[in-house]
Amino acid sequence: MKPIKEIPLVLFTILSQAAVGLTLMEGFFIFFYPGEARLWSPAVPGLAFLCLLVGLACSLFHLGHPSGGIRSLANLSVSWLSREILAFGGYGAVLGLDMVLRYQGMKIPMVLLSSFIAGLAAVAVSARVYKNPGYPALDTFWPFVFFAGTAWVLGLFLLGMICPSLASVLRPFIAVALVFELMTHFLAPIFWLSGGRAQRCTAIAHYRSFFFWIRGGILVLMTGLFVFARSDLSVLILVLLTVQELIGRVLFFNYMVHAADHIGKSLE
Amino acid sequence: MSRIQLGFHINAKKCIGCFTCAMACKNMYHQPVAVLWRKLYPLDESIYPFSHRGFYSLACNHCETPACQAACPVGAYTKRVRDGVVIHDQDKCIGCGNCIRSCPFGAPQYNPVLRKAEKCSLCWQRLDQGLKPACVLSCPVEALELKDFCKADLSSLLAFPPGFPVTSGINPSVRFTLPQSPCIVRQEMP
């Protein structure tokens, strides 16, 4: 097993996507289940804000010079990384406003809608950062699929933990989200097998990885629990879910093969 | 002023794999251990199936639309208008590694001592004095050549030879001459 790198980015992406997922799922259920009073709980933007704040703090530690992070908005005209910082900054600002208003007893749908849109944009921009020619396996739609899946699953689970009265409503949605995660986990390497050398090597690196099979096993177990055993939401399941998301992100940051790794070799 | 785009012509037909170019670069800039701005890539048997070996000597390709420049959040990369050289300003770099991830040719490298990225500068300080880059100057067989891609005749050279990542939209300023297949000579027995 090779040493795990980019742990700050693993934590940043998971936590920021959990925050966005919580906002998106709450917005979705407020729209479709307007009578559910607990959905407007200030704990929802509160937890999302906390996740985002911790995630952003973690992201600083992947920099060689964290104090220079303040300058990362300097290249907004071309750099998706600059845009990502701006997008999460904007999302955090609207989310913070939503949290303060709710703790003061105000429910303003426009603020929630703004955080919904800003969060969605932040995840899309974040995925675009990793779509670059250096990693042919990621120079596809897969970063967005992975990030959206994480936001979807973690958002539903965290919402279920904050609003237990919604558990029965959430269960089928969680089952569908877990099936989506399971499918993307196993389909991505199959997709890469049909690509160029770097993509094929990425698929093989995944198949040879202990992490890939552990995550697959956890996802199969959880999908089975939710689809067939109709399991309830519990802290243990949330821990299992978080572990598989962390493993998935470790694979994302550590088991992708760089295009330059195969210079001088047949790329077909 | 007419446009200039400097780039390397890698003549793998002449290259003997002596590593002098990589060492000349290292001697010039004194990078820490494991950081090499210029690297020599031996060609795999699947590309060059002969008993003697072929090489690509590669550094930054000073692309027309550099992926590193597009990835950098602090604007540490600039492309000089006068000659198309892509320069990395280490004072601006915050060591995020996004350029390292983005470049398909592996040109930007992480300097663990400075905790910043760095890459081949095409010896722009030497160019400004009318001198050749250290790698070009040092090559004993003239396998590395600096060309103005806007004026030189590149029609007989390859942009994406076997074993070199094919990219779209970046347009690396590098061209190749493939290594020659060895001719088999049969000697008559006396």
Residues of A in contact with B166 (CB under 8 A): 196, 267
Distance CA B115, CA B104 (A): 21
Q: pLDDT per residue over B104-115, tens digit each?
A: 999 999 999 999
% chain A with pLDDT above 70: 98
Instruction: Tell whether A2 is covered by a domain.
Output: no
Q: What is the ipTM of this complex?
A: 0.89
Q: Pick the residue from chain B with its C-alpha nearest to A136.
A: B104
Taking alpha carbons only, the member of A2, A67, A258, A10 closest to residue B108 is: A258
Q: Is A230 helix (H, G, I), strand (E, B) or coil?
A: coil
pLDDT of residue A268: 60
Instruction: Tell whether A1 is covered by a domain.
Output: no
Residue indicated by tokens 């929630």 = A112
Distance CA A252, CA A181 (A): 14
- Tell me if A51 sits within 8 A of A16, measured CB to CB: yes
Helix or strand (DSSP H, E) at A23: helix A7-32
The pLDDT of residue A254 is above 90: yes
Residues of B in contact with A130 (CB under 8 A): 101
CB contact (8 A) between residue A264 and residue B74 = no
pLDDT of residue B1: 47
Q: Pick the residue from chain B with its C-alpha nearest to A133.
A: B104
Distance CA B43, CA B58 (A): 12
- Tell me if B58 sits within 8 A of B10, measured CB to CB: yes
B18 vs A122, B105, B142, CA distance in Å?
49, 21, 12
- Classify domain B6-177 at the CATH topology level: Alpha-Beta Plaits (3.30.70)
Structure confidence at residue B52 as a pLDDT band (50, 70, 90): confident
Domain that holds residue A227: 7-262
Ranges of each domain in chain B: 6-177
Question: A233-243 burial, b if ≥16 CB within 10 A, otherwise e?
Answer: beeebeebbee
pLDDT of residue B169: 87
Residue type at B67 in one-letter notation = A
Q: What is the DSSP letter of B55?
A: E
Instruction: Tell whether A124 is covered by a domain.
Output: yes
pLDDT of residue A149: 96
Lowest mean pLDDT among A43-52, B5-14, B45-54: B45-54
| CATH code, A106 | 1.20.1630.10
The pLDDT of residue B2 is above 70: no
The pLDDT of residue A38 is above 90: no
Q: pLDDT per residue over A152-177, tens digit each?
A: 999 999 998 888 888 888 888 999 99
Q: pLDDT per residue over A46-67, tens digit each?
A: 999 999 999 999 999 999 999 9
pLDDT of residue A1: 65
Is any Cβ of chain B less than 8 angstroms from the Cβ of A63?
Answer: yes
- Tell me if B64 sits within 8 A of B42, measured CB to CB: no
Question: B32-52 burial, b if ≥16 CB within 10 A, otherwise e?
Answer: eeebbbbbbbbbbeebbeeee
CB contact (8 A) between residue B165 and residue A264 = no
Number of domains present in the structure of chain A: 1
Lowest mean pLDDT among A158-172, B32-46, B78-92: A158-172
Instruction: Indicate the residue of B56, B73, B170 with minimum beta-carbon distance to A79.
Output: B73
Lowest mean pLDDT among A16-20, A91-95, A260-264, B105-109: A260-264
A127-138: average pLDDT:
95
Is any Cβ of chain B less than 8 angstroms from the Cβ of A70?
Answer: no
The pLDDT of residue B6 is above 60: yes
Q: pLDDT per residue over B150-160, tens digit each?
A: 999 999 999 99
Residue type at B133 in one-letter notation = P
Q: Return mean pLDDT, chain A.
A: 92
